Structure 1
Amino acid sequence: MASDSPEQLTLLRDTVRRSRTKEPAGITSSLPIARVAVDVSLPHLDRPFDYLVPDDLAEAAQPGVRVKVRFAGKDVDGFVLERLEASEHDGKLARIRKVVSAEQVLTPEVADLCRAVADRYAGVFADVTRLAVPPRHAKVEGEPLRCNQPGPPVVSTSLSEWSPYQHANGFLDAVRRGEAPRAIWTAVPGADWAVAFAQAAAVCASTGRGALLLAPDARDLERLAAACTAVLGERGFVTLSADLGPTARYRAFLSALRGCTRVVIGTRAAAFAPVADLGLVALWDDGDDSYAEPRAPYPHAREVLLLRAYRQQCAMVVGGFARSAETAALLESGWAAELIADRTVIRAAAPAVHIAGESDRDLARDPAARAARLPHRAFEVAREGLKTGPVLVQVPRAGYLPSLVCQTCRTPSRCTACGGPLRHTGSTGPASCAVCGRPAADHRCPECGDPRMRAAVVGARRTAEELGRAFAGVLVRTSGGDKILDAVSSEPALIVSTPGAEPVAEGGYSAALLLDTWLLLARPDLRAPEEAVRRWFNAAALVRSARDGGAVIMMGEPSATPLQAVVRWSPEGYATRELEERRAARLAPAAKLAEITGSAEAVADLITRIRQLTDSSSGLEVLGPVPTDDETVRAVVRTPRTYGSALARILKEAQSSRSTKKVPGPLRVQVDPATFG
């Protein structure tokens, strides 16, 4: 048989292709344009793009759904933001290729919030939506809807936890009326903040509106969940946290999205939760660094909720035993009101707080009281406290001997292989490197040749060992690192804990020893004093009141302002003073800061572009650049607070200019960094 000619083969291939290719669906006549936010993180492409809506996707392609679109020659994900009659684009429009899911996961309120957060932090909308909307799980979407109406009626409407505060009734009455009051709440020592949050959420839910409650970490979230179960019932709320895992998190997200409950609780990941008809947002202990998002554009959960309260006109309360400089600034500006108890109530609830060596009597009995790590008075307080209950011992560092120095000249001991710090991980065996793990049995000080080493810092495990010998027969437990205790009984015991890992004691601790206070204050961070005060207040608030015998002993310099703030139990006074010092030093929150990190060439290029975009009246100041390691440098851009929005816009424009021209060099731009030093 004769072979086909090339012309015949070409004709045959074209015929087969036409038979296999479906005719494209027509474009819908009703709102044929979809405005789509594409999942692209380039700053110069941070805007929505218009696409045509085919007839067969017209019903599913609703605002908030996930779609696939063609962008820059490849298929990318995106969200439909809105449907329009016409497009302002003059050129040819591409079609939406696929509706990934008909679930409208990006609500208009959350989309508006994502845009505001991106603008606030000089970031990209696509990066924020990755934080706001968890990855899809098709199996979870296919599960039957478990509820058609919000949860059951509120179990309890008692407001007992709010009774000590002067203006709490007025705040909660405003929430009942559907208004948008804003408050900074300074809790009295020993207050059950979780129950108070649950009661406030119950007030909001009773009006038919939703509430969003945030806790800093998983332990606090469990405590909040237990309180909400008691007040709202098991079906009265949903927990949304990244720790749940992808499937459970998406299931909880859909539960909130579909209106199965009016109350959502969670950690940082829940700040963008799609709560219907939001009436209240609440956040506990806003100074905790867990609220700072480590992914671009690095938003802080407190700022996200502030934007949300403003844009959705809902009530907001930020609570804590301590107070941050940021919340002090909100009070000073009049943006929020103060919820605080009368001084007589605070004094009645607070433990007696003393600093070792603060009086002549202490020094007469123990001349080394100010220098000793555990002076005589601390032993006395611990011994007396163990007669009636557990005693808390807060140690700033975990481990055994986490840092070693030369016995003679105090030179830090370093590994000869990698330069890492040497440490002891137990009571036996040689020191080893904290970086590479290499034993240092033959170590000699490079300065003086002495092979002996001593501890620069004593960790929680070594402290527990020493206390166990000093208090023979007393149970000693540790909490910190990967072994954190959630709660302890009222039985006498010594609980050695690192900051933030203190378990709650049944009936409160009878006493607390706060060791090595200098170490928390010596952290290389300008926020170190505020962070230290916050941790001390949180620990001291777990101790019984002075009238019930509760006592706190702090080991440190008696004249130090941060320690005196705890002695006087004045978190509001310390926050005001801290704000004034920040204002004098032109630091956040009194000024607007942006930290730029990258290669020297990339940082210099961005700073040049920022200066070109900034006018002379902005008060712009550039600090640095200074090297952070062998390959990167860091610069800080600073302006007055009133110019903050303009600075964020200029940072975005400068980054867009770089990405448009494909200027090489990675950069990290962080507005109002959580740490600064």
Structure 2
Amino acid sequence: MAGVARVLVDAALPQLDRLLDYRIPDSLEGVEPGVRVSVPLRSAKRMATAFVIEVAADADFPGPLSEVAAVVSSIPVLRPEVWRLARAVADRAAGSANDVLRLAVPPRQVRVEKAWLARGPVDPPVVVAPSLDGHPGLAEAIDAGERVALRVQPGVTEVQGVGVSRWALTLAQAAAHTLASGRTAILVAPDHRDQDQLERALAALVPAESLLRWDSRQPNADRYRALLVAGDRAAVIVGNRSAVYAPAEDLGLLAVWNDGDPLLGEPLAPYVHARDAALVRHEQQGGALVLAGHTRSTETQRLVEIGWLRELGPAKRIRMRVIPTADGPGEEALMAQARIPSVAWREARAGLEKGPVLVQVSRPGYAPGLRCADCGEAARCKRCTGPLRQRAAGAPPTCTWCGTPDRTWACPNCRSRKLRTSGAGSARTADELGRAFPGTRVIVSDGERPLLDVDDRPALVIATRGAEPFAPHGYRAVLLLDGERMLARESLRVAEDCLRWWSDAAALAADDAGIVLVGVGGALGHALAGWNQPDFARSEYAGRRELRFPPAVRMATVQGAPDAVEEALAQLPASAEVLGTTLTAGRARAILRFDYRDGAEIAESVHAEVIRQATRRRKPIPGTPPRGRQPLPLRARFDDPEPFEE
């Protein structure tokens, strides 16, 4: 007997989230950890793909074993460090390792594999470690494998004549320093704009063959090629949230930019945030861990306060010239209540004499909201009751939920057919500012018309939050509008989200530019004006700790069939606090609260109940197709960012 292969079958069923033993036939070669194989599933009477996790001499299963049918690929695409990480983060979130591995290992590409196997020897490139004088102690922290909460300088700079954000240059220098020592650096960023900045900065510091991109927008072939290269030699890997699972046998640096951005939260089960996966990977594999940003999330602040992260800042602190209009005295404060107060007009006029001016707004479109002009009733869609909006001047009202236009709208309250706009989106703001500054270019960047860059010529750039284009020498003025509207969102994280949006937009300004925060004062306005975002994170975390809200504690939501949720709650350890259970459309949802030290025990209990409920025979859930795939009777989400929202 050639041995036993312990494999993880690629299946979505929770009950298959374990290693299964298969006998390796004497005639079959190439069965080793990390390769894909084909194995029979006797219960399903079909063949399935699996990853070989271990090869042993003897089986753990006492009965007769089925045989491995074939080796799908001889390349070990599942590296040991990636498997350990996937298993650990899945266990922490009461999820399945297969769900994590779908993020870590892209689908097989035969042509890419053939080209890879036919490659010749590759000499490691020579990389010169750049200076990190702008952040004293950062190079030493990387070499020592420390954990750092990094404050970066706002603004823009140049690398070999190419404009980049200062934060991107700092992380690129840290990555090049790591690569020069022969180790891999992984840089995780929320979206393609941030990745583009990192790639621009890295292009001047590391060879092109050592720079790997890793994100979901890539074709599968490119991503699979990056997987093979990353598993073969040291490199700098730049990507979105899934890049935290990239293979790296000798990991020297794992950096996460802007960890408070919700785009770093995985929307699919087991919903593990990239920051949490990075924390687990650092514990397992070592290397330096850097959480960086213009602002600081409350999760990072907690790690700083318990001593797990060390604070590190720049050698020279650049203070931005921020003007909160809500803090003006007397008559000036009253005038500041306008959407674009006089001080914002003055800064915009002065800025347009030198270059582009950024205007950040809260919503896209022309009129984000519509109301009856006579009685004020909110205009809603006849089909789905969603709110109506106007995409452009003169356009018919359109539902924001289902997209259905309504040309015959009439108020259900007073039967009036007259509408008035409520709020102003990017298109309406562009129209208004275009009339106020005749002859000036007006550029709109939002979800429908995203732009990565603008040039240095004078222009009014109207952008929704998160869609601000990059100006190579910085904006000459930045107007942050609709602050009160942004703060009106009901969320535990609305304050830190707003501070992050405003800080990231302000950081695109030139060093001498004026930044006007309209209509917001108090602690938020002072934090931005003084560029003291960590102080705000400290006070925000203190409030969460007093109320026992995340991240001072952990929370989880358990939902599914009412009887399944009830049985799961009955099996929980005594350390789990059940805040309540709601019932909606035949599905129950319970919220759990617990301390960090109890997380592993509670996750194990919930995961065991998910598997038990999945193996029980149940009647179809009302409202689902009789022969369609039935939803799992029980699902769990740990560290839900909005646990109190359905």
In the superposition, the TM-score normalised over structure 1's length comes to: 0.88
Task: Specify whether residues 626 and 324 from structure 1 end up closer, same or farther in structure 2 by C-alpha distance, changes over 3 A only.
Answer: farther
Structure 2 equivalent of residue 60 of structure 1:
30
Q: 1:573 aligns with which of 531, 535, 545?
A: 535
Structure 1 equivalent of residue 306 of structure 2:
333
Task: Specify whether residues 417 and 621 from structure 1 end up closer, same or farther in structure 2 by C-alpha distance, changes over 3 A only.
Answer: closer
Looking at structure 1, the residues matched to 592 and 227 of structure 2 have their Cα atoms a distance apart, in angstroms, of 37
Tell me which moved more, 115-124 or 39-48.
39-48
How far 1:499 sits from its partner (Å)?
0.7
Tell me which moved more, 105-114 or 630-639.
630-639
- Count of equivalent residues: 620
How far 1:631 sits from its partner (Å)?
5.5
| 1:164-313 equivalent positions in 2, closer than 5 A | 164-165=134-135, 168-169=136-137, 171-176=138-143, 179-190=144-155, 192-259=166-233, 261-313=234-286
Percent identity reads 38
How far 1:456 sits from its partner (Å)?
2.0
The 3-state SS of whatever aligns with 1:55 is coil
User: Are 1:283 and 1:319, in contact at CA under 8 Å, matched by a contact in 2?
Assistant: yes
Task: Specify whether residues 437 and 301 from structure 1 end up closer, same or farther in structure 2 by C-alpha distance, changes over 3 A only.
Answer: closer
The alignment's C-alpha RMSD in Å is 2.0
How far 1:336 sits from its partner (Å)?
1.2
Q: Is 1:117 matched with 2:89?
A: yes
**Equivalent position amino acid for 2:566 in 1:** T
Q: Is 1:552 matched with 2:515?
A: yes
Structure 1 equivalent of residue 626 of structure 2:
none
Structure 1 equivalent of residue 557 of structure 2:
595
How far 1:584 sits from its partner (Å)?
2.0
Looking at structure 2, the residues matched to 150 and 209 of structure 1 have their Cα atoms a distance apart, in angstroms, of 15
Structure 2 equivalent of residue 613 of structure 1:
571
Structure 2 equivalent of residue 14 of structure 1:
none
Q: Is 1:641 matched with 2:596?
A: yes
Structure 2 equivalent of residue 353 of structure 1:
322
Tell me which moved more, 205-214 or 529-538.
205-214
1:306-347 Cα offsets, whole Å, 9 max, x none, are: 1111100111111111110111111111111111247xx43x
The 3-state SS of whatever aligns with 2:77 is coil
User: Are 1:325 and 1:579, in contact at CA under 8 Å, matched by a contact in 2?
Assistant: yes
How far 1:538 sits from its partner (Å)?
0.3
* Structure 1: segments with no counterpart, 5+ residues: 1-26
**Equivalent position amino acid for 2:519 in 1:** G
Looking at structure 1, the residues matched to 355 and 493 of structure 2 have their Cα atoms a distance apart, in angstroms, of 34
User: Are 2:25 and 2:67, in contact at CA under 8 Å, matched by a contact in 1?
Assistant: yes
User: Are 1:67 and 1:80, in contact at CA under 8 Å, matched by a contact in 2?
Assistant: yes
| 1:527-538 equivalent positions in 2, closer than 5 A | 527-538=493-504
Structure 2 equivalent of residue 316 of structure 1:
289
User: Are 1:399 and 1:425, in contact at CA under 8 Å, matched by a contact in 2?
Assistant: yes
Structure 2 equivalent of residue 13 of structure 1:
none
Structure 2 equivalent of residue 388 of structure 1:
354
The 3-state SS of whatever aligns with 2:510 is coil
How far 1:482 sits from its partner (Å)?
3.3
Task: Specify whether residues 340 and 332 from structure 1 end up closer, same or farther in structure 2 by C-alpha distance, changes over 3 A only.
Answer: same
User: Are 1:38 and 1:76, in contact at CA under 8 Å, matched by a contact in 2?
Assistant: yes
Structure 1 equivalent of residue 68 of structure 2:
96
Looking at structure 1, the residues matched to 35 and 246 of structure 2 have their Cα atoms a distance apart, in angstroms, of 16
Structure 2 equivalent of residue 624 of structure 1:
581
Structure 1 equivalent of residue 384 of structure 2:
418
How far 1:369 sits from its partner (Å)?
2.2
| 1:2-41 equivalent positions in 2, closer than 5 A | 27-28=1-2, 32-41=3-12
Looking at structure 2, the residues matched to 674 and 172 of structure 1 have their Cα atoms a distance apart, in angstroms, of 33
Structure 2 equivalent of residue 661 of structure 1:
616
Task: Specify whether residues 226 and 587 from structure 1 end up closer, same or farther in structure 2 by C-alpha distance, changes over 3 A only.
Answer: same
User: Are 1:366 and 1:376, in contact at CA under 8 Å, matched by a contact in 2?
Assistant: no
**Equivalent position amino acid for 2:327 in 1:** E
User: Are 1:582 and 1:589, in contact at CA under 8 Å, matched by a contact in 2?
Assistant: yes
Larger Rg: 1
1:590-637 Cα offsets, whole Å, 9 max, x none, are: 111112344xxx1x3343233332333x0422333154xx45453321
Task: Specify whether residues 369 and 114 from structure 1 end up closer, same or farther in structure 2 by C-alpha distance, changes over 3 A only.
Answer: same
How far 1:458 sits from its partner (Å)?
1.2
Looking at structure 2, the residues matched to 651 and 60 of structure 1 have their Cα atoms a distance apart, in angstroms, of 37
How far 1:663 sits from its partner (Å)?
4.5
**Equivalent position amino acid for 1:60 in 2:** G
Structure 2 equivalent of residue 586 of structure 1:
548
Structure 2 equivalent of residue 434 of structure 1:
400
Structure 1 equivalent of residue 159 of structure 2:
none
Structure 2 equivalent of residue 128 of structure 1:
100
Q: 2:111 aligns with which of 124, 139, 153?
A: 139
Looking at structure 2, the residues matched to 615 and 237 of structure 1 have their Cα atoms a distance apart, in angstroms, of 47
Looking at structure 1, the residues matched to 216 and 389 of structure 2 have their Cα atoms a distance apart, in angstroms, of 34
Tell me which moved more, 633-642 or 428-437.
428-437
Structure 2 equivalent of residue 377 of structure 1:
343
How far 1:365 sits from its partner (Å)?
4.8
Looking at structure 2, the residues matched to 198 and 151 of structure 1 have their Cα atoms a distance apart, in angstroms, of 19
Looking at structure 1, the residues matched to 487 and 332 of structure 2 have their Cα atoms a distance apart, in angstroms, of 27
Looking at structure 2, the residues matched to 218 and 437 of structure 1 have their Cα atoms a distance apart, in angstroms, of 26
Looking at structure 2, the residues matched to 674 and 636 of structure 1 have their Cα atoms a distance apart, in angstroms, of 12
Structure 2 equivalent of residue 10 of structure 1:
none
**Equivalent position amino acid for 2:264 in 1:** Y
How far 1:489 sits from its partner (Å)?
2.0
User: Are 2:479 and 2:517, in contact at CA under 8 Å, matched by a contact in 1?
Assistant: yes
Looking at structure 1, the residues matched to 563 and 583 of structure 2 have their Cα atoms a distance apart, in angstroms, of 15
Looking at structure 2, the residues matched to 615 and 89 of structure 1 have their Cα atoms a distance apart, in angstroms, of 30
Q: Is 1:467 matched with 2:433?
A: yes
Looking at structure 1, the residues matched to 437 and 320 of structure 2 have their Cα atoms a distance apart, in angstroms, of 23
Tell me which moved more, 327-336 or 637-646.
637-646
User: Are 2:34 and 2:79, in contact at CA under 8 Å, matched by a contact in 1?
Assistant: yes
Task: Specify whether residues 631 and 210 from structure 1 end up closer, same or farther in structure 2 by C-alpha distance, changes over 3 A only.
Answer: same
Looking at structure 1, the residues matched to 421 and 635 of structure 2 have their Cα atoms a distance apart, in angstroms, of 37
Looking at structure 1, the residues matched to 366 and 95 of structure 2 have their Cα atoms a distance apart, in angstroms, of 42
Q: 1:516 aligns with which of 468, 482, 486?
A: 482
Structure 2 equivalent of residue 448 of structure 1:
414
Looking at structure 2, the residues matched to 512 and 403 of structure 1 have their Cα atoms a distance apart, in angstroms, of 25
Structure 2 equivalent of residue 9 of structure 1:
none
Looking at structure 1, the residues matched to 401 and 276 of structure 2 have their Cα atoms a distance apart, in angstroms, of 36
1:230-272 Cα offsets, whole Å, 9 max, x none, are: 101212221122211111111111111222x422221122211
Looking at structure 1, the residues matched to 268 and 202 of structure 2 have their Cα atoms a distance apart, in angstroms, of 30
* Structure 2: segments with no counterpart, 5+ residues: 156-164, 622-630
**Equivalent position amino acid for 2:34 in 1:** G
**Equivalent position amino acid for 1:639 in 2:** F
